[in-house]
Amino acid sequence: MTDHDEVRPPRRRDAARSRELLVQAAMELFADRGYERTTTREIGERAGVDPALIARYFGGKLQLYLAAVRAEQGDQPPADLLDRDRLHWLLARFDQRGGGPSFPAAVLPGDNAEVQRAAREHLRHRMVDPLRERFTAEGVPQAQLRAEVAAAALAGVLMARTSGAFEELTRADLAELEPLLHAFLGALRP
């Protein structure tokens, strides 16, 4: 028997790492293309693993999407939209990577009600709830409505910025845009 004929033990797969790679690839592709236009094959290719592992580890594409949304949420509750660091982070992240897997599914019509429900819940939890809590603590009337208006306004600005519909908004540097948005959001407090 030569060195080339030697039988090697099967390579052990790092399941945790494969899951992590699949979730990261799914987050990127769902953000870029949306849920419907992303295939499990593309996710597997981006992750560098067999796409069949999606079914094995998650149960299917929908469950992987939900795992990507949970991963995007993180463990810590976010600061509200009036927090300058949070607003800066959201704007910079959107400019660099888009809205994450939940943003397009939450604000654009789609065919999968469960995906839309999960995405909307995610945006409510990450954008609306923290601001509503601040407004409630400050005694601001209509705290829920004002928080939803703030989140909708920010979503609209982000979508318009990437669509190119408004030339000046599309060209604006974040250093120009951030103070305008912060002032607008702050004006929702009486």
Summarised one tens digit per residue, pLDDT across range 122-162 is 888 888 999 999 999 999 999 999 999 999 999 889 888 88
Q: What domains sit in the chain, N to C, each tagged with a CATH number?
A: 15-70 (1.10.10.60), 76-186 (no CATH)
pLDDT-based confidence at 7, cuts 50/70/90?
low
User: Buried (b) or exposed (e) across 67-77, using 16+ Cβ within 10 A?
Assistant: bbbeebbeeee
| Predicted confidence (pLDDT) per residue in 58-107, tens digit | 888 888 888 887 787 666 778 999 999 989 988 888 887 666 666 666 66
Of residues 33 and 189, the one with the higher pLDDT is 189
Residue by residue, DSSP assigns the chain as --GGGPPPPPPPP-HHHHHHHHHHHHHHHHHHH-STT--HHHHHHHHTS-THHHHHHHSSHHHHHHHHHHHHH-SSPPPPTTSHHHHHHHHHHHHHH-STTHHHHHHS--S-HHHHHHHHHHHIIIIIHHHHHHHHHTT-TTHHHHHHHHHHHHHHHHHHHHHTSSHHHHH--HHHHHHHHHHHHHTT--
pLDDT over 90 at 171, yes or no: yes
**140, 131 contact by CB (below 8 A):** no
When the pLDDT of each residue in the chain is averaged and rounded to a whole number, the result is: 85
How far the first Cα of the chain sits from its last, in Å, is 84
- The full length of the chain comes to 190
pLDDT at res. 2: 53
pLDDT-based confidence at 3, cuts 50/70/90?
low
For the chain, the helix, strand and coil percentages under 3-state DSSP, each to the nearest 5: 70, 0, 30
| Spatial separation of the C-alpha atoms in residues 184 and 116, rounded to whole Å | 28
Sign of CA pseudo-dihedral 30, 34, 40, 43: negative
Of residues 24 and 72, the one with the higher pLDDT is 24
